[in-house]
Amino acid sequence: MAVRHVIIIGPPGSGKGTQAMRVADKLDLKHLSTGDLLREAVSEGTELGKKAEEYMKAGLLVPDEIMLGLIREQLDVLEGGGWMLDGFPRTLPQAETLAELLAGKDLAIDMVLLIDVESEEIVGRLTSRRVCGDCKAVYNLSMLPDGDESVCEKCGGKLVTRPDDREETVRRRLKVYEEQTAPVLDFYRKLRGVTEVTGSGDIDEITAEIIRGRR
Protein backbone atom coordinates (compact mmCIF):
# COMPACT_ATOMS: atom_id res chain seq x y z
CA MET A 1 0.00 0.00 0.00
CA ALA A 2 1.29 3.45 -0.83
CA VAL A 3 1.96 5.52 2.25
CA ARG A 4 0.56 8.99 1.56
CA HIS A 5 -0.38 10.49 4.92
CA VAL A 6 2.19 10.25 7.68
CA ILE A 7 2.49 11.78 11.14
CA ILE A 8 5.92 11.88 12.74
CA ILE A 9 6.24 12.30 16.50
CA GLY A 10 9.30 12.39 18.71
CA PRO A 11 10.74 14.19 21.69
CA PRO A 12 12.62 17.41 20.99
CA GLY A 13 16.09 16.55 19.71
CA SER A 14 15.12 13.08 18.50
CA GLY A 15 16.00 14.06 14.94
CA LYS A 16 12.36 13.95 13.89
CA GLY A 17 12.70 17.10 11.77
CA THR A 18 15.72 15.70 9.91
CA GLN A 19 14.08 12.32 9.37
CA ALA A 20 10.79 13.94 8.34
CA MET A 21 12.59 15.88 5.60
CA ARG A 22 14.50 12.84 4.35
CA VAL A 23 11.58 10.40 4.42
CA ALA A 24 9.19 12.95 2.87
CA ASP A 25 11.69 13.44 0.08
CA LYS A 26 12.08 9.69 -0.55
CA LEU A 27 8.35 8.99 -0.46
CA ASP A 28 7.53 12.16 -2.40
CA LEU A 29 5.41 13.68 0.36
CA LYS A 30 5.03 17.35 1.20
CA HIS A 31 6.83 18.05 4.49
CA LEU A 32 4.70 20.22 6.76
CA SER A 33 6.51 21.28 9.94
CA THR A 34 4.57 23.46 12.39
CA GLY A 35 7.86 24.31 14.15
CA ASP A 36 9.28 25.64 10.83
CA LEU A 37 6.08 27.59 10.12
CA LEU A 38 6.23 29.15 13.58
CA ARG A 39 9.94 30.00 13.35
CA GLU A 40 9.31 31.62 9.97
CA ALA A 41 6.46 33.67 11.46
CA VAL A 42 8.71 34.74 14.35
CA SER A 43 11.51 35.85 12.04
CA GLU A 44 9.07 37.74 9.83
CA GLY A 45 7.50 39.38 12.88
CA THR A 46 3.92 38.51 11.88
CA GLU A 47 1.00 38.59 14.35
CA LEU A 48 1.28 34.80 14.67
CA GLY A 49 5.03 35.09 15.28
CA LYS A 50 4.53 37.69 18.00
CA LYS A 51 2.00 35.47 19.77
CA ALA A 52 4.11 32.30 19.46
CA GLU A 53 7.58 33.62 20.26
CA GLU A 54 7.44 33.75 24.06
CA TYR A 55 6.04 30.23 24.35
CA MET A 56 8.70 28.83 22.02
CA LYS A 57 11.57 30.56 23.79
CA ALA A 58 10.32 29.25 27.12
CA GLY A 59 10.13 25.68 25.77
CA LEU A 60 6.34 25.60 26.11
CA LEU A 61 3.75 24.60 23.56
CA VAL A 62 1.98 27.33 21.63
CA PRO A 63 -1.70 27.26 22.73
CA ASP A 64 -4.02 24.90 20.88
CA GLU A 65 -6.29 27.63 19.50
CA ILE A 66 -3.34 29.27 17.72
CA MET A 67 -2.10 25.91 16.39
CA LEU A 68 -5.53 24.88 15.18
CA GLY A 69 -5.82 28.18 13.30
CA LEU A 70 -2.42 27.51 11.75
CA ILE A 71 -3.28 23.98 10.63
CA ARG A 72 -6.60 25.12 9.16
CA GLU A 73 -4.60 27.52 6.97
CA GLN A 74 -2.77 24.46 5.61
CA LEU A 75 -5.87 22.60 4.49
CA ASP A 76 -4.91 22.92 0.84
CA VAL A 77 -1.75 20.95 1.65
CA LEU A 78 -3.71 18.33 3.57
CA GLU A 79 -6.16 17.93 0.71
CA GLY A 80 -3.58 18.22 -2.03
CA GLY A 81 -1.76 14.89 -2.02
CA GLY A 82 0.74 13.06 0.13
CA TRP A 83 2.02 14.73 3.30
CA MET A 84 4.25 14.23 6.29
CA LEU A 85 3.06 16.15 9.34
CA ASP A 86 6.04 17.01 11.55
CA GLY A 87 5.32 18.47 15.00
CA PHE A 88 1.55 18.33 14.75
CA PRO A 89 -0.50 17.09 16.56
CA ARG A 90 1.29 17.61 19.86
CA THR A 91 -1.67 17.57 22.26
CA LEU A 92 -4.76 15.43 22.57
CA PRO A 93 -7.13 18.24 21.49
CA GLN A 94 -4.96 18.81 18.40
CA ALA A 95 -5.11 15.07 17.57
CA GLU A 96 -8.87 15.02 18.01
CA THR A 97 -9.38 18.10 15.85
CA LEU A 98 -7.10 16.67 13.14
CA ALA A 99 -9.11 13.42 13.19
CA GLU A 100 -12.32 15.42 12.64
CA LEU A 101 -10.78 17.52 9.87
CA LEU A 102 -9.51 14.44 8.05
CA ALA A 103 -12.73 12.46 8.53
CA GLY A 104 -14.65 15.39 6.99
CA LYS A 105 -12.46 15.13 3.90
CA ASP A 106 -12.43 11.35 3.72
CA LEU A 107 -8.71 11.25 4.33
CA ALA A 108 -6.99 8.66 6.52
CA ILE A 109 -3.63 8.56 8.27
CA ASP A 110 -1.53 5.73 6.82
CA MET A 111 1.30 5.74 9.32
CA VAL A 112 2.16 7.24 12.70
CA LEU A 113 5.87 7.18 13.29
CA LEU A 114 7.59 7.59 16.66
CA ILE A 115 11.29 8.46 16.71
CA ASP A 116 12.40 7.70 20.23
CA VAL A 117 15.57 8.75 22.05
CA GLU A 118 16.45 8.52 25.72
CA SER A 119 16.19 11.83 27.68
CA GLU A 120 19.83 12.24 28.75
CA GLU A 121 21.04 11.69 25.19
CA ILE A 122 18.63 14.41 24.09
CA VAL A 123 19.93 16.90 26.66
CA GLY A 124 23.48 16.26 25.42
CA ARG A 125 22.47 16.60 21.76
CA LEU A 126 20.46 19.79 22.08
CA THR A 127 22.73 21.72 24.41
CA SER A 128 25.59 21.13 21.94
CA ARG A 129 23.52 22.09 18.86
CA ARG A 130 24.41 25.37 17.14
CA VAL A 131 22.60 26.91 14.19
CA CYS A 132 23.69 29.51 11.68
CA GLY A 133 21.81 32.74 12.39
CA ASP A 134 21.72 33.48 8.64
CA CYS A 135 21.22 30.28 6.61
CA LYS A 136 19.95 28.09 9.53
CA ALA A 137 22.47 25.28 8.87
CA VAL A 138 22.74 23.02 11.91
CA TYR A 139 26.02 22.00 13.60
CA ASN A 140 27.14 20.11 16.66
CA LEU A 141 29.66 21.81 18.93
CA SER A 142 31.88 18.70 18.78
CA MET A 143 32.30 19.17 14.97
CA LEU A 144 33.33 22.81 15.25
CA PRO A 145 37.09 23.42 15.21
CA ASP A 146 36.87 26.73 17.08
CA GLY A 147 34.01 25.79 19.38
CA ASP A 148 31.62 28.66 19.99
CA GLU A 149 33.91 31.01 18.06
CA SER A 150 33.33 29.07 14.81
CA VAL A 151 31.41 30.49 11.86
CA CYS A 152 29.06 28.77 9.41
CA GLU A 153 31.08 26.87 6.81
CA LYS A 154 28.30 27.31 4.25
CA CYS A 155 27.77 31.07 4.41
CA GLY A 156 30.19 32.48 6.99
CA GLY A 157 27.30 33.50 9.27
CA LYS A 158 27.51 33.66 13.04
CA LEU A 159 26.59 30.45 14.87
CA VAL A 160 24.15 30.75 17.72
CA THR A 161 22.39 28.56 20.28
CA ARG A 162 18.64 28.41 19.70
CA PRO A 163 16.99 30.00 22.76
CA ASP A 164 15.01 26.80 23.31
CA ASP A 165 18.21 24.68 23.32
CA ARG A 166 19.44 26.00 26.68
CA GLU A 167 19.64 23.14 29.20
CA GLU A 168 16.89 24.36 31.53
CA THR A 169 14.60 24.92 28.54
CA VAL A 170 15.46 21.52 27.02
CA ARG A 171 14.46 19.83 30.29
CA ARG A 172 11.22 21.78 30.32
CA ARG A 173 10.52 20.75 26.69
CA LEU A 174 11.07 17.10 27.63
CA LYS A 175 8.62 17.44 30.53
CA VAL A 176 6.07 19.09 28.24
CA TYR A 177 6.55 16.24 25.76
CA GLU A 178 5.92 13.62 28.45
CA GLU A 179 2.89 15.41 29.83
CA GLN A 180 1.20 16.64 26.65
CA THR A 181 2.50 14.70 23.65
CA ALA A 182 2.85 11.17 25.09
CA PRO A 183 -0.99 10.98 25.38
CA VAL A 184 -1.17 11.65 21.62
CA LEU A 185 0.83 8.45 21.09
CA ASP A 186 -1.63 6.49 23.24
CA PHE A 187 -4.45 7.99 21.18
CA TYR A 188 -2.88 6.67 17.96
CA ARG A 189 -1.87 3.33 19.52
CA LYS A 190 -5.53 2.68 20.24
CA LEU A 191 -6.68 4.02 16.90
CA ARG A 192 -4.32 2.43 14.39
CA GLY A 193 -0.95 1.49 15.87
CA VAL A 194 2.35 3.35 15.96
CA THR A 195 5.57 2.40 14.14
CA GLU A 196 8.45 2.89 16.57
CA VAL A 197 12.03 3.54 15.48
CA THR A 198 15.00 4.36 17.68
CA GLY A 199 16.48 7.75 16.87
CA SER A 200 19.97 6.83 18.17
CA GLY A 201 22.67 5.89 15.70
CA ASP A 202 23.47 6.55 12.08
CA ILE A 203 21.12 9.01 10.33
CA ASP A 204 21.07 7.07 7.03
CA GLU A 205 20.32 3.79 8.79
CA ILE A 206 17.45 5.37 10.71
CA THR A 207 15.98 6.69 7.45
CA ALA A 208 16.34 3.25 5.84
CA GLU A 209 14.64 1.59 8.80
CA ILE A 210 11.71 4.00 8.56
CA ILE A 211 11.33 3.33 4.85
CA ARG A 212 11.49 -0.44 5.44
CA GLY A 213 9.04 -0.31 8.35
CA ARG A 214 6.31 1.65 6.62
CA ARG A 215 2.90 0.12 6.66
Which of the residues 59 through 78 are near ligand AMP (CB under 6 A)? 61-62, 67
If binding is defined by CB under 6 A, does position 38 make contact with ligand AMP? yes
- φ, ψ of residue 3 to 5 degrees: the values are -95, 115
Binding mask 134-173 for ligand AMP (x = CB under 6 A): ------------------------------x--------x
If binding is defined by CB under 6 A, does position 14 make contact with ligand AMP? no
Indicate the angle between helix axes 64-72 and 34-44, nearest 10 degrees.
Answer: 100
Annotated active-site residue 162? The verdict is yes
Beta strand 5-9 pairing with 111-116? parallel
Going from the C-alpha of 179 to that of each of 82, 104, 169, the distances in angstroms are 30, 29, 15
If binding is defined by CB under 6 A, does position 34 make contact with ligand AMP? yes
Distant-in-sequence, close-in-space partners of 143: CB < 8 Å, separation ≥ 6: none
- 93 versus 150: smaller Cβ distance to ligand AMP: 93
For residues 170 and 13, what is the distance between their CA atoms, to the nearest angstrom?
9
Annotated active-site residue 26? The verdict is no
Minimum CB separation of residue 58 from ligand AMP in Å reads: 8
> CB nearest ligand AMP: which residue?
35
Among 3, 35, 51, 101, binds ligand AMP (CB under 6 A): 35
Annotated active-site residue 90? The verdict is yes
8 Å CB contact between 82 and 28: yes
- Contacts with ligand AMP by CB under 6 A: the residue count is 16
Write down the catalytic residue from 4, 129, 171, 172. 129
Going from the C-alpha of 93 to that of each of 86, 154, 183, 192, the distances in angstroms are 17, 40, 10, 18
Distant-in-sequence, close-in-space partners of 165: CB < 8 Å, separation ≥ 6: 126, 127, 129
If binding is defined by CB under 6 A, does position 56 make contact with ligand AMP? yes
Annotated active-site residue 173? The verdict is yes
Residue 165: helix, strand or coil by DSSP? helix
If binding is defined by CB under 6 A, does position 90 make contact with ligand AMP? yes
Contacting positions for ligand AMP (CB under 6 A): 12, 17, 34-35, 38, 55-56, 61-62, 67, 87-88, 90, 94, 164, 173
Query: Any idea which residues carry the catalytic annotation?
Result: 16, 90, 129, 162, 173
